[in-house]
């Protein structure tokens, strides 16, 4: 069955009537097809009636909440379908044991590095110096902080290359609380969607989303989603941002300025979401599986690879884009 993601970009009330979920606004009442729904992402203030919450939890639908500025607020996470104490114990062991944790964290950054270099090598612009600088970064380190510092060096050089590869907007530097310009706003919004998508896919595995390896586990965020999202950002978010800007899908009229920040307006969000869903549902040929898979499915496959690693079934190899 083809599962869909549903996005709410305007203030609304969500209620249940019988076996149907409705999105209600002053002059609008819209039903949501619950039977083939994967998750709901709320990108505006949304009120859920208790009947709707119970029905969504019972149906195993994950609901993500972000405020008007794209900052993560929380997730309504249904009771896990497939709880495995053995997996959680092994996940924790791979976090507590530094050598085990380091192996996963370094491999994740190797994946990030590969995917960034893949993007740069596909570029027709003058990016050779950025490629050389990133290639020189040695990811090995004696602590998570060291590894993350080296990862940050890679990101810094990569973001600097955007001045060559993106024609309409300038990044200057990565800023996200709040994003200070249009390009930062696009990247932040894309990262928000990717984080949500990764968390939804983790829900369908035995993994505990709060035990992570590159990022420090946090009580307020599902940090394993951050780990997985970082590996996919260059391929899923940055390629898309380049395309929608360089092909004039998004322009200055799609943003609003507020509280010393720049954010996508409602029309800009709709454009972005349309392109995002088209890409996430598009397929690529998976050479190991010898079949086509959607780009969204790659997130769940990544979670399964981590699961197999902590269960000592197969060493983890981070996603590396091949297209």
Q: Which of 47-61, 80-94, 280-294, 309-323 has the least mean pLDDT?
A: 80-94
CATH number for the domain spanning 54: value is 3.100.10.20
Residue 309: C-alpha distances to residues 76, 199, 207 (Å)? 28, 19, 11
Task: Specify the length of the chain in residues.
Answer: 323
pLDDT at 82 over 70: no
CA 4/CA 280 separation, integer angstroms: 10
Residue 315 lies in a domain: no
pLDDT of the residue at 19: 87
| Claim to verify: residue 147 and residue 69 sit in the same structural domain | no
Boundary of a domain, candidates 25, 48, 76: 76
Query: What does the pLDDT average to over 255-275?
Result: 93
- 101 and 54: one domain? no
The average pLDDT across 265-286 equals 95
Q: Tell me the whole-structure pTM to 2 decimals.
A: 0.93
Residue 25 has what pLDDT? Answer: 93
Is residue 20 within 8 A of residue 34, CB to CB? The reply is yes
Q: Which pLDDT band holds residue 294 (cuts at 50, 70, 90)?
A: very high
| CATH number of residue 168's parent domain | 1.20.120.920
Question: Mean pLDDT lowest for which of 32-46, 86-100, 144-158, 186-200?
Answer: 32-46
Tens digits of residue pLDDT in 207-223: 999 999 999 997 567 99
Domain assignment present for 279 = yes
Output the pLDDT for position 68. 78
Same domain, 174 and 282: yes
pLDDT at residue 80, rounded to an integer: 66
Distance CA 94, CA 265 (A): 42
Our count of domains for the chain comes to 2
Tell me the pLDDT of the chain averaged across its residues: 93
What share of the chain in percent tops pLDDT 70? 98
Judge contact between 222 and 286, C-beta under 8 A: no
pLDDT at 4: 87
- Whether the upstream peptide bond of residue 32 has omega within 30° of 0, thus cis, is no
Residue tagged 């896919």 (tokens):
201
> Given 76, 107, 129, which residue is the final one in a domain?
76
What is the rounded average pLDDT of the residues 276-280?
96
Helices (H), the chain: 50-58, 85-96, 98-122, 128-135, 144-160, 162-165, 182-203, 223-232, 239-246, 266-281, 295-310
Structural domain of residue 66, as residue ranges? Answer: 4-76
Residue 10 falls inside a structural domain:
yes
* Residue 320 forms part of a structural domain: no
- Based on the fold, state whether residues 190 and 234 are members of the same structural domain: yes
- Residue 15 to residue 181: CA distance in whole angstroms: 36
Q: What pLDDT does 254 receive?
A: 97
Query: Same structural domain for residues 72 and 90?
Result: no
């Amino acid at each position: 069955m083809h599962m869909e993601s549903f996005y709410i970009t305007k203030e609304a009330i969500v209620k249940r009537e019988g076996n149907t979920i409705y999105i209600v606004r002053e002059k609008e009442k819209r039903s949501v097809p619950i039977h083939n729904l994967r998750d709901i992402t709320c990108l505006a203030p949304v009120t859920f009636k208790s009947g709707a919450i119970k029905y969504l939890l019972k149906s195993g639908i994950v609901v993500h909440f972000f405020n008007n500025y794209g900052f993560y607020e929380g997730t309504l996470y249904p009771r896990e379908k497939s709880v495995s104490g053995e997996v959680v114990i092994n996940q924790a062991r791979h976090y507590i044991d530094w050598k085990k944790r380091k192996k996963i964290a370094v491999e994740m950054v190797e994946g990030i590095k590969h995917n960034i270099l893949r993007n740069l090598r596909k570029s027709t612009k003058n990016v050779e110096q950025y490629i050389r600088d990133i290639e020189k970064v040695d990811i090995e380190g004696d602590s998570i902080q060291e590894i993350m510092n080296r990862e940050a060096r890679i990101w810094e050089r990569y973001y600097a290359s955007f001045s060559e590869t993106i024609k309409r907007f300038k990044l200057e530097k990565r800023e996200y609380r709040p994003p200070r310009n249009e390009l930062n706003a696009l990247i932040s919004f894309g990262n928000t969607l990717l984080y949500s998508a990764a968390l939804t896919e983790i829900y369908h595995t035995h993994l505990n989303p709060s035990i992570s390896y590159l990022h420090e586990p946090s009580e307020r965020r599902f940090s394993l989603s951050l780990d997985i999202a970082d590996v996919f950002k260059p391929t899923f978010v940055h390629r898309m941002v380049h395309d929608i800007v360089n092909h004039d899908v998004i322009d200055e009229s799609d943003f609003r300025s507020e509280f010393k920040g720049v954010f996508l307006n409602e029309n800009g969000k709709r454009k972005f979401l349309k392109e995002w869903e088209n890409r996430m549902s598009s397929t690529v040929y998976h050479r190991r599986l010898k079949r086509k898979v959607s780009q969204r499915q790659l997130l769940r496959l990544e979670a399964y690879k981590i699961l197999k690693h902590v269960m000592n079934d197969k060493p983890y190899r981070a996603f590396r884009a091949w297209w």
